[in-house]
């Protein structure tokens, strides 16, 4: 089909290759399929599945191209919504120059700022997906979290077959209104995780929680406090959602094991740093703690 939907101008300090390298970190990823040139992802637009490919146009100035691979071409409003989603997915409207001014002179970040130049925080613009991913990742290794997401998505999400591969769309919260804890536990979710997923799904489906509501709060800390009121949502989960969904560059999940291990590895410490030590490391990163975290994770995989 290869029907061009739109092109987006790319900012300074954007490297699709660096972003794809991060996105390729697990073969268990089920929500998109990436290669060395671009990424394919299934969207549901106007109630219908639409498979889209993102690549970078070769000519200057560089632009991100969104091409329709399968499905019916959506209308103008849906295409505009998709463009906004992609801007947020790749953080395309962020000026990274201030971050690199900090990172280029920071002992921990400087090597990563060179090797990962142009990497953007890969966001999760959908609040329900972001919360579920964080819930599934609580106190398990990354590979098992991916397996849980894969099972949840295959069981309850929409899908589309194209050129011998099945593409999945993360399930919408409304789907879970008739799902039981036992059904989620059969996918190897713990009872606590199953309960939290169902409660969050019901809350979002009923209009009791939304990304728009959280973004409208006066500060990111207020959004975090709103999330912490939910049973099963702790500081790590709320910080992760601030970082990946609410696009808060000051989010700093000091309880994240990956962050702790990255700092331990890069500094040669014989133990994981304490939260207080991580806060001390972050003093020069003020305002860019989330980007520092995202880059530090790249030291591990």
Task: Check if 256 is active-site.
Answer: yes
CA-to-CA distance for 150 and 57, rounded, in angstroms?
31
Residue appearing with tokens 């499905």 = 71
- Alpha-carbon 115 to chain mean position: 21
Q: Write b or e for each residue in 92-115: b if 16 or more Cβ atoms lie within 10 A of its Cβ, otherwise e.
A: bebebeebbebbeebebbeebbee
Residue in 91, 126, 248, 256 annotated catalytic: 256
Rounded to a whole number of angstroms, the distance between the first and last alpha carbons of the chain is 35
- Looking at the annotation, which residues are catalytic? 256
């Amino acid at each position: 089909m290869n029907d061009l939907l739109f092109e987006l101008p790319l900012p300074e300090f954007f490297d699709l290759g660096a972003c794809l390298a991060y996105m390729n970190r697990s073969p268990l990823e089920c929500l998109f399929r990436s290669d060395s040139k671009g990424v394919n992802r299934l969207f549901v637009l106007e109630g219908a599945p639409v498979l889209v490919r993102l690549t970078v146009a070769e000519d200057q100035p560089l632009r991100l191209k969104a091409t329709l691979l399968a499905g019916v071409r959506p209308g103008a409003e849906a295409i505009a919504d998709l463009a906004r989603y992609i801007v947020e997915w790749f953080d395309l409207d962020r000026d990274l120059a201030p971050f690199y001014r900090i990172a280029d002179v920071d002992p921990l970040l400087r090597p990563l700022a060179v090797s990962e130049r142009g990497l953007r925080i890969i966001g999760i613009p959908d609040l329900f997906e972001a919360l579920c991913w964080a819930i599934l990742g609580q106190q398990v290794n990354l590979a098992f979290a991916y397996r849980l997401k894969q099972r949840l998505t295959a069981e309850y999400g929409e899908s589309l077959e194209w050129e011998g591969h099945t593409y999945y769309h993360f399930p919408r919260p409304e789907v879970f209104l008739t799902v039981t804890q036992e059904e989620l536990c059969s996918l190897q979710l713990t009872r606590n995780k199953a309960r939290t997923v169902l409660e969050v799904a019901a809350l979002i489906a009923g209009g009791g929680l939304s990304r728009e509501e959280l973004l409208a709060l006066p500060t990111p800390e207020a959004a975090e406090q709103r999330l912490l009121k939910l049973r099963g949502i702790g500081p790590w989960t709320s910080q992760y959602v601030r970082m990946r969904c609410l696009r808060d560059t000051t989010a700093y999940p000091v309880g994240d094991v990956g962050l702790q291990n990255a700092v331990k590895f890069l500094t040669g410490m014989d133990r994981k740093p304490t939260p207080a030590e991580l806060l001390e490391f972050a003093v020069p990163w003020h305002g860019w703690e989330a980007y520092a975290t995202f880059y530090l994770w790249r030291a591990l995989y």
